[in-house]
Amino acid sequence: MRTRASETSIPSCSVGLAGPLTLESLLGALVTTIRRELLVRGQDHAATQALDVAARTDLGWQDRDTVLRGHVLDHVTVLTVLDNFEYNLTSDGDAGYMVRDEVLADLLAAWVAEPGASRQLVISRYPFTLPGGAGRALSFRQLGAPSRAETMKLAWSLPPLDELDDGQLDRAWRLVGGHPRSLEYLHVLLSGGTARYPDVTARLTKAVSRRLDGTDRDRWLAARTVLDPALAETVALAANDVLLARLAQVPGAVDLLLNVSVYRQPVDRTAVLFAAGQPDPRAEDIPDQEAAYRHITEILAAAGITPGETLDLSSVPEKVRARLAPHLAQLNRLPVPPFRPDSCGPRSAGRVT
């Protein structure tokens, strides 16, 4: 989401937020980021005073917004990026989507109507309206599917896909509309050993053929590096129907995906166990790091070695290193949570994104 004049402004600082928002979280992030930027530059005392007013929660949001836009955003160029904004939307029936929080919607409407030197970029699955027809000041752009080269890079982190040759991966890229999540679904199916590449791609080809007429299908097959956004969305929807239906046949796969979908960053096996493992108190194993550190200190003291902030083990006698080894291993061992993998579920990767 951006104003039509956004091309003329180059932001000097940016504010990034993701997921559910409130008026206070948005204003708070703006004030904090801009104040920090002004302090670093050592300039604009008047703007800093205006930020103090904008941060006051005892004032009405309209007064705070007026001060912020009139004394700060008219003079300081700021880009605000709101990611995953669909979490703030609600369906308005046949009219589409609108911002769920009415106060937040009013603030955004007032802001885009008079943005000053600021600009807003909102990343959302769905276009939406703002009160008072303020949405007319916005320009919506549909993001296209990842290119073939970008898909190849994603495949490097998904071993079953990385094992495909270029021709097979190119076909997978087309048949899922380049959608990253669909590629991950395909990765899970192939990882679980319950689906074969030829079988899955045959089903995908049949589903896509039902969605595209002859002309669109020819355009689709003719694409070499980039997929048409509208066709990519159509194909991705068809692919998801097939892949999710197949995943539902893999015991534990759907629950696993739902449980790990809350993570915004790549996570390791321990996090996956917390989200989707079976509770098992016997599996818990917490290394006694305090005892390990105490033993290490005693062994070094007995050998006449005073450790500093770092210890070069290569300078320690071999007999002393042998005594230190089990305690160093204990010190560096990661804890294991009181959960065990679901033996009925699919083979999981050590890293989930």
Residues 12 and 133 in one domain: yes
Q: In this predicted structure, what is the pLDDT of residue 347?
A: 42
Summarize pLDDT for 277-286 with one digit per residue, the tens: 788 888 888 8
211 CB burial (10 A radius; 0-12, 13-18, 19+)? middle
Q: How many domains does the chain have?
A: 4
Residues 243 and 268 in one domain: no
Residues 215 and 233 in one domain: yes
Q: In this predicted structure, what is the pLDDT of residue 345?
A: 46
Q: In this predicted structure, what is the pLDDT of residue 194?
A: 58
Q: In this predicted structure, what is the pLDDT of residue 248?
A: 76
CA distances from 5 to 71, 89, 233, 255, 325 (A): 20, 25, 28, 45, 64
Residues 163 and 220 in one domain: yes
Using DSSP, state whether 102 is helix, strand or coil.
helix
Question: pTM of the prediction?
Answer: 0.52
* Domain assignment present for 255: no
* Domain assignment present for 273: yes
* Domain assignment present for 297: yes
* Domain assignment present for 143: no
Structure tokens at 164: 């495909």
Other beta carbons less than 10 A from residue 220's beta carbon: 19
Q: In this predicted structure, what is the pLDDT of residue 44?
A: 64
Residues 104 and 160 in one domain: no
Q: In this predicted structure, what is the pLDDT of residue 329?
A: 86
Residues 118 and 40 in one domain: yes
Q: Is the dihedral of CA 89, 90, 91, 92 positive or negative?
A: negative
Structure tokens at 59: 């004032």
Residues 17 and 132 in one domain: yes
Contact 179, 145 (CB under 8 A): yes
* Domain assignment present for 52: yes
Residues 155 and 119 in one domain: no
* Domain assignment present for 205: yes
Q: How far apart are CA 150 and CA 178, in angstroms?
A: 9
* Domain assignment present for 208: yes
Contact 337, 272 (CB under 8 A): no
Residues 42 and 61 in one domain: yes
Residues 111 and 157 in one domain: no
Domain span holding position 64: 4-137
* Domain assignment present for 142: no
Residues 178 and 126 in one domain: no
Chunk the chain into consecutive blocks of 10 residues (it has 353) and report each block's average pLDDT, rounded to whole numbers.
Answer: 37 78 90 83 75 88 88 86 89 81 92 87 86 83 77 80 83 79 78 73 82 78 72 76 76 72 69 78 86 88 76 81 88 83 49 39
Residues 95 and 128 in one domain: yes
